[in-house]
A and B are shown apart, each in its own frame.
Chain A
Amino acid sequence: MFAVNAQKITKYFHEPSTFAVLSNIEFSVEKGEFVSLIGKSGCGKSTLLYILSTMDTDYEGTLELNNQSVTGLSQDALSRFRNEHLGFVFQFHFLLPEFSALENVMLPALKLGKFSNEEIEHQAIEKLKQVGMDEYARKSAGKLSGGQQQRVAIARALINNPAIIMGDEPTGNLDKANTYIVLDILKRLSEENKQTIITVTHDPDFAAKSHRIIEMEDGKMVKR
């Protein structure tokens, strides 16, 4: 059973002139795998990640996530899919600064609307505990440090128990200590919860700790 199954993914950039950023990418990721995408700047690894994230729909080929074809779905359907099955951690943590850490974690679950508000709050506090941020739950997200924000962002990515968690340089902006904390959390998620993790990273130490490294060059996978 594959968490990610990509067939013949090709994407073109049209500015300044048309060229293929990704050509005929074929790869799959098994459930519970922790995969790192590495490569030089401009090799297409982030582009690939955003196609896998379903946010970028301008590509050729087919993509299956969690055994469900997502190619050709409408934007709203993709939104609902992301909400339920995908979690994201970005380089610049991207919390909503006016909301508290707890509210940031709760938002995707409130959107999903599967549980009552009290239930969601309880779950959110659990997730914050998992990343060691429960004591900052009521603090405004804008007032947290970078490492703390990144941990809250991970808790938010976990709130709907997604099948796949994607990270775009999740530790790119963090110091050593925080990098280890984040790495540790991600590793535990894949090993204990069997959640699939795909991250783009520049950090060779980080990549070395993952289960599998995929190296990219000029829009192709050179090492799996």
Chain B
Amino acid sequence: MKSFRLSLKIALVHLLSKKKQTIIAMLGVTFGISMFIVMISFMTGVNDYLMDLALDGSPHIHVYNPVKTKRTPLSASVYDTSKTQIFVHHQKPKADQNRIRSGFQILQEIQKLPYVTNAAPQLSSQVFFNNGSLQFGGVMMGVDIERENTMYKLYEKIESGSVEKMRSNKDGILLGENLALKLNVGVGDRVSLTAPNGSVFLLKVVGTFAFGMTSVDETRCYVGLNTAQKILGKPSDYITDINIRIRDYNQSTAIAEEIQALFGYTAEDWKKTNASILAGEIIRNTLTYVVSAAMLIVAGFGIYNIMNMSVVNKMRDIAILKATGFEAGNIVSIFLLQSLIIGLSGAFLGMFIGALLSYGIDQLPFPAREMIKLETFPVNYEPIHYILGIVFGFITTLFAGYFPSRKASKIDPVAIIRG
């Protein structure tokens, strides 16, 4: 402890005797760490934003019945297929192929599962919206509006009107913001809708919503489940999808597999649905770490250079310290401490500047309103990133300082003192 305090004292005197060099070396680390903080805060901000978007817009697990265009022909049940070859050319799918049979019973069973927090029935279908002579394609979702509200926090996404009015209006409809713009309708207006079977319905707009993703806001509309069944001319137990929320969304893959095995219908989890977002996340993370590591390595070389120069300049001092009884370990700690002080103070300053810059980016307006709706650049402030920054700074300077320090400790005092 005593010799550590002595080494620290000598290290500090050395650092203060060449302030300019010390500050330049420190700024290298500061720059590296602040860029790391800014990049990782911004990148994880984007990741989290997109993840929220994905989790808000899609259920954790989506149970549906995919359309199978190839199925066993009816004649196969009459004839022995081992003796008879049956050919059916150009099979057509059945009309209600994508229906989930006894959907409400399945829904009840799913809700009883321990890790499921909520499940909602849904009947979705392609529809056309009519605006004068023009028609726009869209997706109609017949939902239990109460459950939908709790599952997706629909009320948070409402831009005009309200979700509550859906209860009192049997022919009420919630339109995506952009869709309402295209149809030129607002709350209280009526909108005309054509079902796939050709029948036309008039519905009353009770609200508009925005999920923030243009692809959704331009096509989606919500109607009551019964209304959807009426529009499509289906019985009141006809549903096509069950959307599930679970307690821990990271477990979705395993639970989806279990549900699929239990009920025989395809269960797709959000990771599969949003594979592109997750792939983007991996790419952004890799990029962040690669660029940050590169910057830190450059800063490390800066420290290495300056420490090397310092060792060369201090050869006489090192020789005299060794002659008067300082051991190799003392010399290493003197120079290693110098580089660690440079590294850690640089890293702390870098953290501070990084936080400031991140805050600055946080305030910048986000220009691309076309694709996703976002007011400012997404930035998050995770303490772990700041801790990582310090740890990286520490490790880099430890490595950068170690080799010059070892070189210093190996200096032969006789060679220096004899000249």
Contact = CB atoms under 8 A, between A and B. Distances in A.
A212 to B, nearest CB: 24
Interface stretch (B94-102, B298-306, B411-419): B411-419
A156 B324 contact: yes
A44 B417 CA distance: 15
A55 B330 CA distance: 16
Given A79-B327, A80-B327, A96 B320 contact: yes
A111 B323 contact: no
Interface in A59-96: 75-76, 79-84, 86, 88, 90, 92, 94-96
Nearest to B5: A110
A56 to B, nearest CB: 5
B322 A94 contact: no
Contact of A96 (B317, B325, B329): B317
Nearest to B317: A96
Contacts of A82: 323-325
A182 to B, nearest CB: 18
A53 B13 contact: no
Contact of B413 (A55, A99, A108, A110): A55
Contact of A111 (B6, B17, B328, B417): B6
B326 interface: yes
A98 B322 contact: no
Interface string B11-39: 00110110000000000000000000000
Contacts of B17: 98
A78 to B, nearest CB: 9
Contacts of B322: 55, 79
Contacts of B6: 107, 110-111
Give the interface SS of chain B, mostly helix, strand, loop or mixed.
helix
B316 to A, nearest CB: 6
A108 B325 contact: yes
B323 A98 contact: no
Nearest to B419: A92
Contacts of A111: 3, 6, 324-326, 330
Contacts of B92: none
Contacts of A86: 325
Interface residues of A, number: 30
Interface in A37-59: 46, 50, 53, 55-56
A113 B3 contact: yes
A37 to B, nearest CB: 14
B225 interface: no
B13 A99 contact: yes
Contact of A112 (B319, B325, B328): B325
B4 to A, nearest CB: 11
Contacts of B320: 94-96
Nearest to A104: B320
A81 B322 CA distance: 11
A112 B324 CA distance: 10
Contacts of A33: none
Interface in B376-419: 412-414, 417-419
Nearest to B418: A46
A107 B9 CA distance: 10
B2 interface: yes
Interface in A15-54: 46, 50, 53
A111 B316 CA distance: 18
B406 to A, nearest CB: 14
A64 B14 CA distance: 36
Contact of B326 (A79, A84, A156): A79
Interface string B324-341: 111111100000000000
Nearest to B314: A96
Contacts of A96: 317, 320-321
Nearest to B16: A98
Contact of A75 (B323, B328, B417): B328
Contacts of A99: 13
Nearest to A83: B325
A107 B324 contact: yes
Nearest to A56: B414
A108 B418 contact: no
**Closest 7 A/B residue pairs (Cβ):** A83-B325, A98-B17, A79-B327, A108-B324, A76-B327, A113-B2, A82-B325
Interface of B: 2-3, 6, 10, 13-14, 16-17, 316-317, 319-330, 412-414, 417-419
Given A56-B414, A96-B320, 19 more contacts: A46-B418, A50-B418, A75-B328, A76-B327, A76-B329, A79-B326, A80-B327, A81-B325, A84-B325, A90-B417, A94-B316, A98-B16, A98-B17, A107-B321, A110-B2, A110-B6, A111-B3, A111-B6, A111-B324
12 contacts: A50-B414, A55-B322, A55-B413, A79-B326, A80-B325, A90-B417, A98-B13, A108-B325, A111-B324, A111-B325, A111-B326, A113-B2
